[in-house]
Structure 1
Amino acid sequence: MPLKLEGSCRCGWVRFSADSHAPVPFMRCYCSICRKTAGGGGYAINLHADKRTLAIEGETAVFHAELDDGEGGCTVSTGERHFCAKCASALWVFSPEYPDLFHPFASAIDSQLPKAPSRVHMMLASKASWVEPVFGSDDQCFEEYPEYALEDWHRARGLWID
């Protein structure tokens, strides 16, 4: 049975819940979008949840980040970053390319989460100069994206919850 995630914003105006098969907060993203919108420690931790089970009380605002196209221009991300419309707490990211799932920020989850046996540090090439990541002996590090998805990491470690 999946783990029920319960989350909220800082002011309590938005509350949400959803089921997660992959609730271990193991992946730290150091990209400029995550760290500037949700990462107080210079990174953000996204979880994996079933979009079909998402229940929301309150109203969210949505932000679409602009992405550098590498040629002096930018494109607008299809990813929807949801925030509380009153206190601006970062809540989750949804990408229409993957309509059955969304990624709550671990920082918005109020229910107990399992502890990660190791961590993945991703987008290290984008980390802020003041950030000094702490790497555990079993941690994996990636300059950009890891070679696998959240689901793959959980399944490989026997942490996927059916």
Structure 2
Amino acid sequence: MLLEGSCHCKAVRFRVESRHPYPFNLCYCSICRKTSGGGGYAVNLGADNTTLEIEGGENLRVYRARMEDERTGEVTTSNAERSFCGECGTHLWLWDSRWPDLVHPLAGVVDTDLPVPPERTHLMMDFKPDWVLFRPGEHDQVHGHYPDESLEDWHKRLGLES
């Protein structure tokens, strides 16, 4: 499925092909919450990084999150690069060098109509703040950290690959 998206001010627009366009994966980690703002979680999609086309790329900025080990206090920098519009601050997508063929646009910046998922996966729930209301659907999955099931596996299990 071709996904088209943009930042709020339209200084950055993009197109990317996705075999996994269902917005089902809700991440409650502090990095996703704080970089995407709003409702207490981020909804990340999966797409083919080799098909990513960008207009207004000169307006992009990249953030690599600071990560602190809760046990040791050691501070490192994330492999993941979060791309933002330098004009309006909209977080557009995440790319990680460990999976270079994938890019993860945020569902909220996709202008294309997305399909409605039959179930959702709530992940990193151990990091959800108390103020975030949580009402899972009947078939939703809930995980304290990352689930074993990948974006691709979820789509395959439900027969939803496009």
TM-score range, shorter chain: over 0.9
1:60 maps to which residue? 60
Deviation, 1:39, is 3.8
Distance 1:100 1:56, change over 3 A: same
The one-letter code of the counterpart of 2:87 is K
CA-to-aligned-CA distance 1:26-73 (integer Å, 9 cap, x gap) = 010000000111041100000000000000011210000011123012
Could you say what secondary structure the match of 1:86 adopts? coil
The one-letter code of the counterpart of 1:35 is R
1:80 and 1:136 mapped to 2: Cα distance? 31
Structure 1 unpaired stretches of 5+: none
Structure 2 unpaired stretches of 5+: none
1:75 and 1:133 mapped to 2: Cα distance? 30
1:74 maps to which residue? 75
What TM-score comes out, normalization by structure 2 length? 0.96
The count of aligned residue pairs is 159
User: Residues 60-139 of structure 1 correspond to what in structure 2 (within 5 A)?
Assistant: 60-69=60-69, 70-139=71-140
Identity, % of aligned positions: 49
1:48 and 1:39 mapped to 2: Cα distance? 20
1:37 maps to which residue? 35
1:76 and 1:115 mapped to 2: Cα distance? 34
2:40 and 2:54 mapped to 1: Cα distance? 28
Deviation, 1:9, is 0.1
1:147 and 1:49 mapped to 2: Cα distance? 19
Deviation, 1:78, is 1.0
1:22 maps to which residue? 20
2:129 and 2:111 mapped to 1: Cα distance? 28
1:93 and 1:140 mapped to 2: Cα distance? 23
CA-to-aligned-CA distance 1:79-106 (integer Å, 9 cap, x gap) = 0000001000010000011111110000
1:39 and 1:120 mapped to 2: Cα distance? 19
1:48 aligns with 2:49: no
What TM-score comes out, normalization by structure 1 length? 0.96
1:31 and 1:150 mapped to 2: Cα distance? 17
RMSD: 0.7
